[in-house]
Amino acid sequence: MKRFITSLLLLCAVASATAQDCYWVFLTDKQGSTFDPYAYFDAKAIERYRQCGADLYDITNYPLTQQYVDGVNALATDEVGESRWMNAMGVVATAEQAAAIGRLPYVLRVQPISSDFQLAAAAVEAVSDDNPVADTTLSLQVLRMQGDLFRAKGIDGHGVRIAVFDGGFPRVNTHAAFKHLRDDHRILKTWNFPNKKENVYGWNSHGTMTLSCIAGRMNGKDLGLATGAEFLLARTEVNAEPFKEEIWWMQAVEWADRNGANIISSSLGYGKDRYYTRDMDGKSYVAKAANMAARKGMLVVNSAGNEAVDISWQYIITPSDADSALCVGGIEHSLTEYEHISFASFGPSADGRQKPNVCAIAHTWAASPRNDGAFQMVYGTSFSCPLVAGFAACAWQASPGKTAMQMFHEIERSADLYPYCDYAFGYGVPQASYFTGDRKPQTPSFRFEKQSSMSVSVIPTRNIDNAYIFYKDVDSNGKIITYGQQHTSHFDTAMSLDFTGGHHIVVSLDGYSADYRFDSPSDADPKKWTEFRSTNPNLEYTAQRTLRRTPATDVPNERHLAADVYFSYGLCFDVDGNAIGPRFWSDATRIGVRVLYKFSKAYGIGLAVEVGKSTYSFRNRDVNELEANTLHLANQITSAVKQESRKLIADELSLELFQRVRFVPAGMMHKGLHWDLGAFISTIDGSYRFRAKNNDAVSAMREYSFIDLKAMDDYNFSYGITTRFTYDIIGVYGRFRLNQGQQVQLPRLEVGVQLMF
């Protein structure tokens, strides 16, 4: 037992000492650093700074002090990148190296990065080369934003520069959807931050699809509105990289700033795989970078995320929670229906701010990297985000001279539900008519009529076909208590709205919004819900969808404990050349329960209990060790009996202590890719079996269970180390026995496969 404990402690010490993580190293100052903005910035960036009143000589634009950088790099394993804005370096280091870096006099603090960047795409549908949408020069996804009004006035984002952040852009340099960009040389610069080179035309196809929703063309139809814009393409994401994407994203923002971007389209974000819902409060480093980008004149457009399918999360991801990031939600693919798409994340931010800001179609046509002429339908707020980014470029062209934050609020005001907003749709879908001067003034579509101190009727003032009624209940602080949506094919009859919480209600119908305040509001109670009731029982509802969301701060934090049941099957191997077996087949089957305590999203320590059975076959090349060492057994076997096969059947009860590191956050079963390293101890009981053939050729199976393995001092238990690599529910494992025994020497190595449930 002492040897086991010593081995376990040694294993944990070695694992801790050699484990390398990624860290932010924040520096104290920029002493001795010099900066010439006119040599550093693109001319378009300088123009943008002047337009928004930002300071070209702001200290955040200065480079890091080279002496400090060299000192940190001398202690770290590797440098990932630098951030001028944060005066910080991203480095790979062991815990000991990080501690040494933290003691440097010019280091403010060292902070671990435990992040998993995720593409905000949800799925890909069937591939097709045809476009079944309406016979116009615009696809339905841009018609929903009244893109035809922009086109009628020749507005296509000309003169606006858009930076697109993604995981790769395969075939953008050859695909027909981007021929007009290549012909006009409007892909100005590219940079691959993970690989530190210009080539971005490979890797994840997500970027190809998102770019096509900004500026792509399909068979003569525009998939996005900004077909006349200029582009900067940045690869910032690697699928299997758990730490570094936050650094690359922030570097990409600074790169976009330097190269004159007006808009950043980011269909990326951090969510459940790093943070908790309480953390979606705009204070992550990427959220801070998004806010700083806005102060420097750039409009950051970011996907809300596709977390609604995960009951444990459901809310927006960062950096879309940044106060100055335009967070884009998703609706279904239709010109006439107004339905929240099932996977799109809900708001608000954790501190109760309105998110999403707007929404757009999240089931879109996009360029496919399958070949240079292929297109496909795709799902995700990854695609509603670039649709709005393209819209923003056109809006900026139509309203020159506005700052990024002015444009941010103008896009909100342009949306078709404004001033109504909720946590599913934001202010609704942006509309081009707001910027082209074609918007018709709102006319009342309903009026309120008080029924009692707790209810009010919504009475239509005109007949409305295909009516979508949006409503919400708001407290005295402006926070939404509950909200909902209903649809009817024809609305011409009063509806009663029961008031059961909050302070006043807001209703939107057919582009018109109004609110009603009660004289004596009740206490806000999120457990009480507002409901519509028709006063006409014959009124037929063709669809109903009530969305009931409470603020993200009310959602319980993710549990730190996780458990799974597993089954494993492995083979035993003799690596010393003197153990029992393997003869033909020596296998082991086990079933167990593991409990994991997660210290963070990427690291945890666990305990496993398992029962198993191992079958060790004896080799014929030497005397059976049990027979040679056990006189009682030798007396039972006479020369008249010929042994055909001999096996030791061992029953084990094992206890394992392990640590788990997560490399990839999610797979098909949302378990991701993990590596476990641990130590085990097992108690063993067993029996000896042999198949014998006597002289009259009659076969018989004889089993001798009198061998008491527990009584053998050198083999009453077994101990060793284990390791596993697991993806979702399937994995491979190795188990190495550190003790082997003297009388009974069993194989040390066991390898096999494992299933988790």
- For the segment 633-643, what is each residue's pLDDT rounded down to a tens digit? 444 544 445 55
Please determine, for residue 249, whether its predicted confidence score (pLDDT) is greater than 80. Answer: yes
Strand order in the sheet with 543-545: 512-517, 504-509, 464-474, 480-491, 543-545
Q: Where are the beta strands (DSSP E) in 253-310?
A: 263-266, 268-269, 299-303
Q: Are 298 and 45 in contact (CB under 8 A)?
A: no
Q: Where are the beta strands (DSSP E) in 239-315?
A: 263-266, 268-269, 299-303
Please determine, for residue 506, whether its predicted confidence score (pLDDT) is greater than 80. Answer: yes
Q: Which residues lie below 8 Å from residue 376, measured CB to CB, with a gap of 6+?
A: 124, 125, 126, 127, 128, 209, 365, 366, 368, 370
Tracing tokens 């001028």 back to the chain, one arrives at 84
Q: Work out the percent of the chain whose per-residue pLDDT is above 90.
A: 53
Label residue 122 by pLDDT band (50, 70, 90).
very low
Distance CA 749, CA 457 (A): 75
Diameter over CA atoms, the chain: 108
Please determine, for residue 425, whether its predicted confidence score (pLDDT) is greater than 80. Answer: yes
Please determine, for residue 5, whether its predicted confidence score (pLDDT) is greater than 90. Answer: no
Q: How many residues can be counted in the chain?
A: 757
Of 101-115, 523-537, 721-735, where does the model show the most confidence?
721-735
Distance CA 482, CA 172 (A): 44
Label residue 152 by pLDDT band (50, 70, 90).
very high
Q: What would the mean pLDDT of 350-369 be, rounded to a whole number?
A: 93
| pLDDT value at residue 485 | 85
Q: What residue type is assigned to position 203 of the chain?
A: W
Label residue 358 by pLDDT band (50, 70, 90).
very high
DSSP letter at 292 equals: H
Please determine, for residue 646, whether its predicted confidence score (pLDDT) is greater than 90. Answer: no
What CA–CA distances, in Å, run from 360 to 329, 508, 532? 7, 18, 26
Distance CA 389, CA 210 (A): 10
Q: Centre a 10 Å sphere on the Cβ of residue 176 and count the other Cβ atoms it contains.
A: 17
Please determine, for residue 262, whether its predicted confidence score (pLDDT) is greater than 50. Answer: yes
Q: Are 583 and 748 in contact (CB under 8 A)?
A: no
Q: Are 232 and 262 in contact (CB under 8 A)?
A: no
Please determine, for residue 486, whether its predicted confidence score (pLDDT) is greater than 90. Answer: no
What pLDDT, in 10s, does the model give residues 168-224?
999 999 999 999 999 999 999 999 999 999 999 999 999 999 999 999 998 889 999
Q: What would the mean pLDDT of 368-391 be, rounded to a whole number?
A: 93
| pLDDT value at residue 402 | 94
Label residue 69 by pLDDT band (50, 70, 90).
very high
Q: What residue type is assigned to position 105 of the chain?
A: P
| pLDDT value at residue 730 | 93
Tracing tokens 């924040």 back to the chain, one arrives at 26
Q: What residue type is assigned to position 324 of the chain?
A: S
Q: What would the mean pLDDT of 296-300 be, rounded to a whole number?
A: 98
What pLDDT, in 10s, does the model give residues 529-560?
556 666 665 555 555 555 545 444 444 445 57
Q: Are 157 and 229 in contact (CB under 8 A)?
A: yes
Q: Centre a 10 Å sphere on the Cβ of residue 254 and count the other Cβ atoms it contains.
A: 21
Question: 322: closest CA among 289, 274, 347, 345?
Answer: 289
Whole-number average pLDDT of the chain:
83
Distance CA 303, CA 322 (A): 12
Least-confidence region, from 515-529, 628-642, 729-743: 628-642
| pLDDT value at residue 556 | 44
Least-confidence region, from 19-33, 107-121, 426-440, 673-687: 107-121
Distance CA 566, CA 756 (A): 4
Least-confidence region, from 33-37, 57-61, 276-280: 276-280
Distance CA 408, CA 692 (A): 86
Please determine, for residue 697, whether its predicted confidence score (pLDDT) is greater than 50. Answer: no
Please determine, for residue 702, whether its predicted confidence score (pLDDT) is greater than 50. Answer: no
| pLDDT value at residue 648 | 76
Least-confidence region, from 68-77, 193-202, 419-428, 469-478: 469-478
| pLDDT value at residue 619 | 62
Q: Are 175 and 367 in contact (CB under 8 A)?
A: yes
DSSP letter at 565 equals: E
**How would DSSP label each residue in 111-139?**
EEE----EE-EEEEEEEES---S-SSSB-
**How would DSSP label each residue in 631-649?**
HHHHHH--TT-EEEEEEEE
Say if residue 739 is exposed, middle or buried (CB neighbours under 10 Å; 0-12, 13-18, 19+): middle
What is the distance between the terminal CA atoms of the chain, rounded to a whole angstrom? 32
| pLDDT value at residue 703 | 46
Label residue 370 by pLDDT band (50, 70, 90).
confident
Please determine, for residue 431, whether its predicted confidence score (pLDDT) is greater than 60. Answer: yes
Distance CA 211, CA 378 (A): 13
Q: Work out the percent of the chain whose per-residue pLDDT is above 70.
A: 77
What pLDDT, in 10s, does the model give residues 22-35?
899 999 999 999 99
